[in-house]
Amino acid sequence: QNSSEMPETITSRDAARFPIVASCTLLGLYLFFKIFSQEYINLLLSMYFFVLGILALSHTISPMMNRFFPANFPNKQYQLLFTQGSGESKEEIVNYEFDTKDLVCLALSSVVGVWYLLRKHWIANNLFGLAFSLNGVELLHLNNVSTGCILLGGLFIYDVFWVFGTNVMVTVAKSFEAPIKLVFPQDLLEKGLEADNFAMLGLGDIVIPGIFIALLLRFDISLKKNTHTYFYTSFVAYIFGLGLTIFIMHIFKHAQPALLYLVPACIGFPLLVALAKGEVTEMF
């Protein structure tokens, strides 16, 4: 994605529709895995996420990489322009500007991409997963707090239903060989980097609360008090919610819908702070 692109704003109508769209997609994938052979789908998905992952990763590391380039680095500017028609009716289809530094980032990301494609290694998977999450939080903006509550509330129900009510979510998450989840090796200490017993966290459990936390950071800044109270509150609430998820997962030995714990935490804690400070009206 070009960094000059406008973020996608999520309205309350989009938020209300989201769980239904997500449910249809999830069910579609589930049936797809039941009908077709898994290798075939995962091959298609691998190629798709290979390209997408490389682009997402290079977009993510590009600002960080700037520090590592020496001052005398020969940085050339490039423009990829693809037009249609001529004269007055000439219109741009692709207009992409980049420089040598972006190409270096692209090369580095491609190395991760090839590593992912060949080995499906968990570290490569997580690098792509984190890049997707960061791009997701960057591109998706909530227009206000009530939209955030509708979105989180709807997906809370969606998550609980598909994890506890059916085996759909767990089946798809386990069969789906794509960097749409972060994986954490539970046997890392015994097996080192060759670990193969994983706990997983879907990117939705990161991006959905993430865009809400990002909204609260914008709310903090709009209060012009030079404090980030709501951001830190929701940030700590997220860590608490995730910790609780893991704790309960270990006690009951059953997959847990992370949003079941993350949504009440991420909405509840900042709301309590707003009540205490008398800023609920400003918040909404």
Q: What is the pLDDT of residue 127?
A: 97
- How sure is the predictor about 1, in pLDDT bands with cuts at 50, 70 and 90? very low
11 and 51 in a single domain? The answer is no
Same domain for 260 and 163? yes
**What is the pLDDT confidence band of residue 71, given thresholds at 50, 70 and 90?**
confident
Domain boundary among 92, 119, 146: 119
On whether both 13 and 64 belong to a single domain, the answer is: no
Residue in the block written with tokens 């590593």: 115
- For residue 2, pLDDT over 50 is answered with no
Domain end position, chosen among 64, 87, 119? 119
For 71-75, what is the mean pLDDT?
88
Domain boundary among 76, 94, 119: 119
* Predicted local distance difference test score (pLDDT) of residue 129: 97
Based on the fold, state whether residues 279 and 145 are members of the same structural domain: yes
Quick check: 186 pLDDT over 90? no
The answer on 208 and 74 residing in a single domain is no
Provide the pLDDT for residue 5: 59
Model pTM?
0.89
For 254-268, what is the mean pLDDT?
A: 96
Which member of 159, 187, 196, 220 is catalytic? 159
Task: Give the confidence band of 188 by pLDDT, cuts at 50, 70, 90.
Answer: confident
- Looking at residue 150, its pLDDT comes to 97
Mark whether 64 and 112 lie in a shared domain.
yes
Tally the domains of the chain.
2
Average pLDDT, the chain: 92
**Looking at the predicted structure, is the pLDDT value of residue 241 above 60?**
yes
% the chain with pLDDT above 70: 98
- Alpha-carbon gap, residue 79 to 13, rounded angstroms: 37
187 catalytically annotated: no
* Residue 95 shares a structural domain with residue 137: no
Considering the domain architecture, whether residues 10 and 99 belong to the same structural domain is answered as: no
Min mean pLDDT across 129-133, 148-152, 183-187, 247-251 is at: 183-187
5/88 Cα distance (integer angstroms): 25
What pLDDT sits at residue 43?
87
Full domain range(s) for residue 56: 37-119
174 pLDDT tier (thresholds 50, 70, 90):
confident
The verdict on whether 205 is a catalytic residue reads yes
- 11 with 149, same domain: the answer is yes
Closest CA to 263 of 284, 283, 244, 282: 244
pLDDT, tens digit (0-9, with 9 covering 90-100), for 110-169: 999 999 999 989 999 999 999 999 999 999 999 999 999 999 999 999 999 999 999 999
221 and 100 in one domain? no
- Regarding whether 98 and 204 lie in a shared domain, the answer is no
What is the predicted pLDDT for the residue at 142? 95
- Give 16-68 pLDDT, tens digit per residue: 999 999 999 999 989 988 898 888 888 888 899 999 999 999 999 999 998 88
Say yes or no: 227 and 137 in one domain.
yes
Cα separation of 97 and 81, whole Å? 8
